[in-house]
Chains A and B, each alone.
Chain A
Amino acid sequence: MINSHGTNLSPVVTQLTDELSKLPGIGPKTAQRLTYFLIRMPENNALALSEAIKAIKEKIKFCSICHNITEQEICELCSNPSRDQSRICVVEEPLDVMALERTRSFNGVYHVIHGVISPLNGIGPEDLKIQSLIKRVTEESIEELILAMNPNLEGEATSMYIHNLTSDIVAKITRPARGLPAGGDLEYADEITLSRALEGRQEF
């Protein structure tokens, strides 16, 4: 029987290819390659993958305080008494929390706003977890708010928006330094990065 793709592949194979191609960055050809890889994969490995996907949807939720991903009502970072609850680092996505935690140089807590203000895509402040951030800084005693959005136009606009709403409430609002990436060569750095690095220069 010829299916909707114009081939006579098994409907089960077609179904999996179709589902895989819905994932970001996975086009039809990659989806097909993954499907045939899974067909050849040992059964218990394939089942483990399907169980892991099922577990993600069943068990993962968002922390009721910081909106990071967690299996509990309140995540491990927010509930950890050794974390500095008076310093909140605001980030766009849970992956940013993971990246910052890998540095082991920040002992505060986080607030994940799940995206960034993107007017061209119709995404406004009301679509992000900004209101809950405002509530948090209003109700808790926050000494520092670190705005760690990505250094592009939309990240900057989001930082400015949050700054405008919190500058009367939080004494210290900061952002990560901008500049040269470690291991990079000065001659290959672009002008914007170089000028920002020069502006942010510090005493040696």
Chain B
Amino acid sequence: MPRPRIYKSEGIIVRQMPLGESDRIVTLITSKGSKIRAVAKGVRKPKGKLSGNVDLLNLISASVARGRNLDVISEAHALKTFRTIKEDLASTSRALYLAELTDIFTVEGDPSESLYNLFINTLEVLESGDSNKMWIRNFELKLLEISGFMIDFFSCIHCRKPLEPHDHLFSRGGGGVLCPTCRIHSPDQLIKLPLNTLKVLRYLIREGVQKSRNLSLTNETLDDLEKVLTEYMKFLAEREIKTLKFMSIN
């Protein structure tokens, strides 16, 4: 049965770029977890019928016409604009980081509804006004789990022995933690993983983010947590995560 020429889709806009005088190409992560790239015509004009509805982070319901090269959004209606996020710079920077990771880890032709649900649920948390950084760390860990790249924080990736209670090292290439004895076996540059940071990561995985967000952590531990997870994201993405720099200054 031939595919219908026009199809409906609901999803969040995670990327957009200008096209021609008044159009944009938008990337949508749909509620079914797939990725669509489509042209939104006339969206940069004030009177364009798509104008107010098509913007980054908007959850839209769209009618899309299949095109030869790119599909075209013929109608769009914003179901949610995440306005509270967009009125706060720190929340905006975090939401864009989540959008970039979701875009990177959503592979065309391999939809992941779990990843979409994780994305929208975390956006809802930010929208509620809770911009605690542990939600971002939680997103990163859950994303790793969904994508099959979860880190084992309990055993050494080389000797497989349980990790002793002292400082360790994280290997991006190995995708896990190395005990000091096995550090010579690392295929790449190692990132320090102090014991406190390791404990927080284990706690976050075991107890969840609602309990973890109440932990009283030093700035150093927060920085180490961020470094381990963001460096691993960069390694898996095989490129710089562009939104990281802006997130770090807000």
Which residues of A does B touch, CB under 8 Å?
24-25, 117, 119-122, 124-125, 152-154, 156-157, 160-161, 164, 181, 183-184, 188-193
Contact = CB atoms under 8 A, between A and B. Distances in A.
Interface residues of B, number: 35
Given A120-B242, A124-B245, A152-B55, A191 B78 contact: yes
Nearest to B243: A119
Interface stretch (B43-51, B164-172, B179-187, B225-233): B43-51
A164 B87 CA distance: 12
Contact of A161 (B15, B17, B19, B89): B89
A187 to B, nearest CB: 11
Q: Which of B17, B92, B249 has the most CB of A within 10 A?
A: B92
Contact of B242 (A121, A188, A190): A121
Interface of B: 15, 17, 19-21, 46-47, 49-53, 55-57, 77-78, 81, 86-89, 92-93, 96-97, 99-100, 240, 242-243, 245-247, 249
B240 to A, nearest CB: 7
Contacts of A160: 87-89, 92
B46 A181 contact: yes
Nearest to B51: A190
Given A153-B57, A191-B78, A119 B93 contact: yes
A120 B93 CA distance: 10
Given A156-B86, A191-B78, A192-B53, A25 B243 contact: no
Given A121-B242, A181-B46, A181-B47, 9 more contacts: A119-B96, A119-B243, A122-B240, A153-B86, A157-B89, A164-B89, A189-B52, A190-B50, A191-B78
